[in-house]
Chains A and B, each alone.
Chain A
Amino acid sequence: MVVRPRRHPLVPLTLLLSVLLIAMFAQTPALTLFAFIGATLYLATAARSVLTMRSVIGYLILWVLVAVTNPLFSTGGATPIVFIGGRPYTREALLYGIHLGGMLISVLLWFRCETFLVAEENRFFLFGRIAPKSALLISSVLRFVPLLRRRAEAMRGAQTAVGVYDDPDWLHRTRSTMTTWSALTTWSLEHAIDAGAAMKARGYGLPGRTTYRTCHFTKTDAVCLTAILALDAVTIAALATGRLDISYYPEIITARAGLLGRCGIAAFAVLTLLPFFSFLKEDLRWCYYRSKM
Chain B
Amino acid sequence: MNRRWLTFLLFFAMIPAVAVGGALIFRERHYAWISLCVAVLTCLPIVYDFEQRETGSAELMVLSVLTSLSVAGRFLFAWLPGFKPVTAITVITAIWLGAEPGFIVGSLTALLSNFYFGQGPWTPFQMFSWGLIGGLAGLLARPLRKHKVLLCLYGVFAGVFYSLIMDLWSTFWMGEGFSLARYLTYATAAIPTTIEYAVSNVIFLLALTGPIGDKLDRIRVKYGLFRETENEDPAD
Count of A interface residues, CB-CB < 8 Å: 61
- Tell me the bound Cα distance from A190 to B220 in angstroms: 11
* Residue from A186, A191, A192, A199 having most chain B Cβ neighbours under 10 A: A192
Q: Chain A residues near B60: list those with CB within 8 A.
A: 133, 136-137, 140, 196, 199
- Tell me the bound Cα distance from A134 to B32 in angstroms: 27
Q: Chain B residues near A140: list those with CB within 8 A.
A: 60-61, 64
Verify if B75 is at the interface (C-beta below 8 Å from A): yes
* Contact B76 A199, beta carbon cutoff 8 Å: no
| Known contacts A108-B120, A205-B57: A152-B175 contact under CB 8 Å | no
| Known contacts A189-B215, A200-B57: A96-B67 contact under CB 8 Å | no
- Tell me the bound Cα distance from A66 to B176 in angstroms: 11
Point out the residue from A24, A70, A148, A240 that lies within 8 Å of B175, measured CB to CB: A70
Least Cβ–Cβ distance between B47 and chain A, in angstroms: 6
* Contact B121 A107, beta carbon cutoff 8 Å: yes
* Contact A133 B219, beta carbon cutoff 8 Å: no
- Tell me the bound Cα distance from A152 to B26 in angstroms: 47
Count of B interface residues, CB-CB < 8 Å: 63
**Which residues of A, 212-264, contact B by the 8 Å Cβ criterion?**
236, 239-240, 242, 245, 247-248
* Contact B64 A137, beta carbon cutoff 8 Å: yes
Verify if A193 is at the interface (C-beta below 8 Å from B): yes
* Contact B108 A133, beta carbon cutoff 8 Å: no
* Contact B51 A134, beta carbon cutoff 8 Å: yes
Interface flags for A85-109 (1: CB within 8 Å of B; 0: not) read: 0000000000010001000100110
Interface flags for B39-56 (1: CB within 8 Å of A; 0: not) read: 000000001101100011
Interface flags for B168-189 (1: CB within 8 Å of A; 0: not) read: 0000011110010110010000
Q: Chain B residues near A248: list those with CB within 8 A.
A: 176
| Known contacts A111-B120, A131-B47, A185-B215: A145-B72 contact under CB 8 Å | yes
* Contact B211 A182, beta carbon cutoff 8 Å: yes
* Contact A148 B112, beta carbon cutoff 8 Å: no
* Contact A192 B61, beta carbon cutoff 8 Å: yes
- Tell me the bound Cα distance from A237 to B132 in angstroms: 36
* Contact B59 A73, beta carbon cutoff 8 Å: no
**Which residues of B, 20-40, contact A by the 8 Å Cβ criterion?**
22, 24-29, 32-33, 36
- Tell me the bound Cα distance from A21 to B218 in angstroms: 47
10 tightest CB-CB pairs across the interface, nearest first?
A: A196-B58, A144-B68, A25-B26, A199-B57, A192-B61, A192-B65, A196-B61, A148-B72, A196-B57, A140-B64
Chain A residues proximal to chain B, CB less than 8 Å: 24-27, 66, 69-70, 73-74, 96, 100, 104, 107-108, 111, 114, 131-134, 136-138, 140-142, 144-145, 147-149, 152, 174, 177-178, 180-182, 184-186, 188-193, 195-197, 199-200, 204-205, 236, 239-240, 242, 245, 247-248
Chain B residues proximal to chain A, CB less than 8 Å: 22, 24-29, 32-33, 36, 47-48, 50-51, 55-65, 67-69, 71-73, 75-77, 80, 85, 104, 108, 111-112, 116, 118-121, 173-176, 179, 181-182, 185, 207-208, 211-212, 215-216, 218-219, 223, 225
